[in-house]
Chain A
Amino acid sequence: MATVVDRLLGRPGETRAKVEGVRAGSADPKAEVWRRVQLARNLARPRTLDLLAEMADEVIELHGDRGFGDDPAMVAGFARIDGHRVAFVGQQKGADTDENIRRNFGMPHPEGYRKSMRVMELAERFGLPIVTFVDVPGAHPGPESEERGIAEAIARSIGMMSRLRTPIVAVITGEGGSGGALAIAVGDVVLALENAVYSVISPEGCAAILWRTAEEAPTAALAMKMSAQDQLELGVIDRIVAEPGEGAHADPRETARRLRTAIIAELDRLEELPPDELVEARYRRYRALGPYTEVATPEVSPPPSRTIADRLRDLLDPTRWSMGMPSPGSSRRDEPQAHEEV
């Protein structure tokens, strides 16, 4: 079955073999996925600009969102990769504490996403394909971010990427953290490095909400199926690029070389397609994601109004005979805890 799906989707067979190899090799799946989360967050992991420096013959970074400022947590610009002139965008974490503070640990503010939108719009206008590098714990949460409209920036970016008439290759290189990741990860094809992770919320956040303790983060990581291999099986990503040796941090140069080959192959393929077809296929890719079922129901159901019978039932219902003052906050329909999500 799995191989049939692979063949239908045109996925290379060796990826599947690799997935199974990894599965078989790990005794404790929870420890295994947590090891990958740690690898994805490894400080020595190559960042967007490091990867570009290795794989591109020419890189010109562009700065500023033209409205508020320049966000060092997001980089964008032009690059030439094996003769392909492309626009790139990506989050940029720091290699050490100082740089991380300057780059806000790779957590962009709204102006970061507005900068990337500006460059992607340029790309469409000048017929350049777009390559995005996703490595973000999550968009920056906090007052400045909310004041300047982080949600609006993310939603606009997602919408815009769904319609850009130019090829988009998205690569999850490290952490794919929720909306802050998806904002630049809507692509015709989504690649991921072998030890990258992708999730709707950080495992710590998920554990804090559902298990009531952040210590269950590895359990949450496993439950959310956030490893690249699981994401491939869910159809959220399309292809995994193997990392050398112990992981990307062990040999950044080789990682960049492998990624370069994969990106070039996708660009070659996508640049052949007419823009209409490209946009339609991309739209359908996301329109179809997320399974549900449909069960039979009564055809039409106008909102019911309370009938005299309902009122009689209320009168006869002994649970409603609480004539005294209720204990405060006992009405359960009112104000349940809003649960939090990033």
Chain B
Amino acid sequence: MPIKLPSFRARRDTYPPDLWTKCPQCSDMLFNKQLEKADRVCPTCGHHFRLSAVARLDMLLDPGTFRERDAGLQSVDPLGFVDTKPYPDRVTTAQAQTGLRDAAIRGSGSIDGQPVSICVMDFGFMGGSMGAVVGEKVARAAEDAVADRVPLVVVSASGGARMQEGTLALMQLAKTCAVLERVRVARVPYISVMSDPTTGGVFASYAVLGDVNLAEPNALIGFAGARVAAGTIAQELPPGFQRSEFLFEHGFIDRVVHRRELRTEIAALLRFMPAPEVTAEQPVQLSFNPIGAFLSSVAGVGGAAGGNGGNGGNGGDRG
């Protein structure tokens, strides 16, 4: 069944028609246009509003550098899941509301001149929940990072695994963690940015595994939702439980970064963590990936041949 979508161009004017937004923290009324200009951070109290994936890319990347990849990945309904509504209907509704095909966008771009492979999530699409499409996009972003020797940046905003895809959504934890092990072996840097909220299966997989973990101020970050925790163990929760600062205090986040500083901070970090350069002698590759190995061996042969014919560039390891 082909699904008709109004438009895949994410447009801010598809968002609410009102002109004012009330800050949930300081209760100030904010003029939407000014809020957008301030990257959706309350100018009075610094409350960070949630950001759509498109706005996030706009904010982080150098203008005009983003090239989307795998825009066509689309969720299927492996379980035939129906709660109060069939799962495919929920997806269609979310697509119409957000102009996105699923809860993540991935591609390549550059941050302050440094090329990156980036994947950003959008909480507006079914609570940013991770099904097979989100897992696949994160995995492919990581694979591209290894193949192109560029840093990986993932910006999370998610309630966790997508229940409607059952254990297949749970398996995305395994898929993404497994790929990240290979990113680590390839010595490709990975920066994880957690925005409000980053919980459940997303936090317990790729979001927490960054070489450097950054978080926006006061973002809800945790494994089990506060309601679950309070319900299961009937225990008083400490103040600020599962907020960025709580996790920072307990050592799971390197830096809590204001949205305004995020871009420069990532750029500065990446200058300390260069991805290994592409060389003919030591191709960094996804170990045990037959297709990847084949491709890099072809590339390696080509590179070595070129080196022999041209200069003494690969004489280093012989000498």
Contacts and interface: CB of A to CB of B under 8 A. Distances in A.
A289 B174 contact: yes
Given A162-B178, A287-B139, A291-B78, A301 B9 contact: yes
Contacts, number: 310
Contacts of A152: 204, 208-209, 252
Interface stretch (A4-12, A221-229, A257-265): A221-229
B102 to A, nearest CB: 8
Q: Which of B15, B29, B84, B168 has the most CB of A within 10 A?
A: B168
Nearest to A205: B228
Given A141-B228, A332-B16, A226 B166 contact: yes
Main secondary structure of the interface of B (DSSP, over half): mixed
A202 B252 CA distance: 26
Contacts of B204: 150-152, 154-155, 179
Interface stretch (B61-69, B263-271, B301-309): B61-69
A231 to B, nearest CB: 6
Nearest to B229: A141
Contacts of B57: 303
Interface stretch (B17-25, B146-154, B274-282, B310-318): B17-25
A340 B228 contact: yes
A147 interface: yes
Interface in A146-165: 146-152, 154-156, 158-160, 162-163
Given A141-B233, A286-B178, A325 B20 contact: yes
Contacts of B223: 139, 141, 145-146, 150-151, 154, 179, 342
B300 interface: no
Nearest to B238: A143
Contacts of A340: 159-160, 199-200, 224-228
Given A155-B177, A206-B163, A325-B20, A223 B124 contact: no
Contacts of B78: 234, 290-291
Interface of B: 8-13, 15-22, 24, 27, 29, 32, 49-50, 52, 54, 57-58, 64, 66-68, 70-76, 78-79, 81-84, 101, 123-124, 127, 129, 131-133, 135-136, 139, 159-161, 163, 165-175, 177-181, 196-197, 199-201, 203-209, 220, 222-229, 232-233, 235, 237-238, 241-242, 246-247, 250-252, 288-290
